[in-house]
C-alpha cells in the first residue's frame, strides 16, 4: 500500500465523533503506519462521564422548572416568547436525555446496538437544531416587540397563534435535518473489538456525503442563527439606547450575555467542525499525534457547546421578573421557603413597564 492509499484510508476512518461523542479508539492508517487513538478514549473516559452528568443535572433542574412554571400557571403562555421558551425547555430536556448514553459510551464503549445508536443520534440532532431555531425565533420576537412596538401590539393575538405554528414547523424542519442520523448512524467495531456509535456513509466517494452533512450542521445550526441574532439584537440595542428607562442598562447587559454565551459556547465547536470538513476534503492532517490532539480538542469544545442546554433557562427565563416570582410562589406553596409577613418585601411591587416586555407577558430580557 503506497502513501496515497494510506492517507485515503486514514481519512475514511475518521468519524464524525464531534457530533455524537462516540468512541475514538479506531486504529487509523496514516503516513507512518498505524495511528493508535486509544489515548483519546482514555481521555474521554476520565473527562466526559462526570462532566456530562453535571450538565444533565443542572440542565434538568433548570429546564424542568421552566416547564413546570408554564404548565402550572395556565395563563403564562401569553406571548410568542413564552411559547418559544416552553418548546426550548422541552428540546433541551430531550437533548439532555441523550447525554447519559454518550457518557456510558465514553467509559465502556457503545453497548446499546445499532438501532439505539440511530435513535439516540437522531434525538440529539433533532433537539440540537430545534434549540438553535427556537433561539433564533426568540430573537426575532424580541426584535418585533421592541423595535416594531406598534405592529406588535396590534397583532398580538395573531402572533401568538403564529408562534404555535412556527414551533410545529421548527420541529418538522429539525426532524428533516436529522435524516442523515437515521440513515448513516450505526454501531461499529474496531480492530480491538471496541464498539462505538458513529456515522458510516454509503458509497462516500471523496467524503462528499460527510462534508455535506457537516456543512449543513454548521450553516443551519450556527451561521444562520448567529446572523439573525446579531441583526435582531443590534437593532434592539439601538432602540434601547434611544429610550430613557431605568431598566435599559440591565436589559443591555442581558442582551450582551445572551449573545456572548451563544458565541463562546458554539463558535469554537463549529470552528472545529469546519476543520473536520476541511480534513475530510483535503486530507491535511496525516500525523498521528496531530490526530490525537485534534480529537481531544474536539471532545472539549463539544462539551462546551453542550453546556448551552443548561444555561438557556438562566438566560431566557429566570431573568424575567414574573418568572422569578412564579418560581418563589411555587416553592412557597410546597413549603420549601417561608412566607414573609409582607410578601411584597420579597417579591417587590409590580415593576414599571419596560420597553423590553410585552404587555402582561414574560419579561424575557430584562431583570
Dump pLDDT digits (tens) for 129-163: 999 999 899 899 888 888 887 766 667 778 778 88
Q: Using 50, 70 and 90 to split pLDDT, how confident is the model at 235?
A: very high
- How many percent of the chain have pLDDT more than 90? 22
Say how far apart CA 131 and CA 137 lie, in whole Å. Answer: 10
Q: Output 218-225 pairs: Cβ under 8 A, ≥24 positions apart.
A: 218/270, 218/273, 218/274, 218/277, 220/129, 220/132, 220/177, 221/128, 221/129, 221/132, 221/270, 222/132, 222/266, 222/267, 222/270, 223/270, 224/136, 225/132, 225/133, 225/135, 225/136, 225/262
Domains of the chain: 3-331 (1.20.1070.10)
Tally of helices (H runs) and strands (E runs) in the chain: 15, 4
Dump pLDDT digits (tens) for 22-62: 333 333 434 444 566 677 778 888 888 899 999 999 999 98
Q: Using 50, 70 and 90 to split pLDDT, how confident is the model at 68?
A: confident
Residue 172 clears pLDDT 90, i.e. is over it: yes
Q: What is the pLDDT of residue 230?
A: 92
Residue in the block written with cell 469554537 = 268
Smallest Cα–Cα separation from 91: which of 46, 119, 59, 113? 59
Q: Using 50, 70 and 90 to split pLDDT, how confident is the model at 345?
A: very low
What average pLDDT does the chain have? 76
196, containing H or E segment: strand 195-199
Q: What is the pLDDT of residue 353?
A: 39
Amino acid at each position: 500500500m503506497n502513501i496515497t492509499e494510506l492517507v485515503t484510508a486514514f481519512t475514511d476512518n475518521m468519524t464524525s465523533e464531534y457530533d455524537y461523542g462516540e468512541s475514538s479508539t479506531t486504529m487509523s492508517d496514516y503516513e507512518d503506519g498505524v495511528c493508535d487513538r486509544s489515548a483519546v478514549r482514555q481521555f474521554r473516559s476520565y473527562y466526559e462521564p462526570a462532566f456530562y452528568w453535571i450538565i444533565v443535572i443542572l440542565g434538568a433542574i433548570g429546564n424542568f422548572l421552566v416547564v413546570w412554571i408554564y404548565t402550572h400557571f395556565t395563563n403564562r403562555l401569553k406571548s410568542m416568547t413564552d411559547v418559544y421558551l416552553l418548546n426550548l425547555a422541552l428540546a433541551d430536556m430531550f437533548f439532555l436525555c441523550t447525554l447519559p448514553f454518550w457518557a456510558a459510551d465514553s467509559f465502556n464503549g457503545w453497548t446499546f446496538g445499532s438501532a439505539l445508536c440511530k435513535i439516540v443520534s437522531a434525538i440529539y440532532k433533532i433537539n440540537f437544531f430545534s434549540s438553535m431555531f427556537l433561539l433564533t425565533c426568540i430573537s426575532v420576537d424580541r426584535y418585533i416587540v421592541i423595535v416594531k412596538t406598534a405592529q406588535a401590539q396590534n397583532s398580538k393575538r395573531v402572533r401568538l397563534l403564529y408562534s404555535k405554528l412556527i414551533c410545529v414547523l421548527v420541529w418538522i424542519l429539525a426532524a428533516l435535518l436529522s435524516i442523515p442520523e437515521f440513515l448513516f448512524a450505526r454501531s461499529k467495531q474496531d480492530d480491538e473489538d471496541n464498539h462505538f456509535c458513529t456515522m458510516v456513509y454509503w458509497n462516500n466517494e471523496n467524503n462528499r456525503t460527510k462534508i455535506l452533512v457537516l456543512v449543513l450542521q454548521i450553516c443551519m445550526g450556527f451561521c444562520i442563527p448567529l446572523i439573525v441574532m446579531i441583526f435582531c439584537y443590534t437593532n434592539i440595542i439601538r432602540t434601547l439606547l434611544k429610550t430613557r428607562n431605568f431598566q435599559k442598562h440591565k436589559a443591555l447587559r442581558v442582551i450582551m450575555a445572551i449573545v456572548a454565551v451563544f458565541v463562546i459556547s458554539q463558535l469554537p465547536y463549529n470552528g472545529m467542525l469546519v476543520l473536520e470538513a476541511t480534513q475530510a476534503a483535503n486530507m491535511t492532517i496525516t500525523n498521528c499525534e496531530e490526530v490525537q490532539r485534534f480529537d481531544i480538542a474536539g471532545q472539549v469544545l463539544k462539551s462546551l457547546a453542550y453546556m448551552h442546554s443548561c444555561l438557556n433557562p438562566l438566560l431566557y427565563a429566570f431573568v424575567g421578573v414574573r418568572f422569578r416570582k412564579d418560581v418563589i410562589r411555587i416553592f412557597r406553596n410546597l413549603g420549601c421557603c417561608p412566607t414573609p409577613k409582607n410578601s411584597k418585601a420579597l417579591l417587590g411591587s409590580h415593576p414599571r413597564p419596560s420597553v423590553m416586555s410585552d404587555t402582561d407577558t414574560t419579561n424575557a430580557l430584562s431583570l
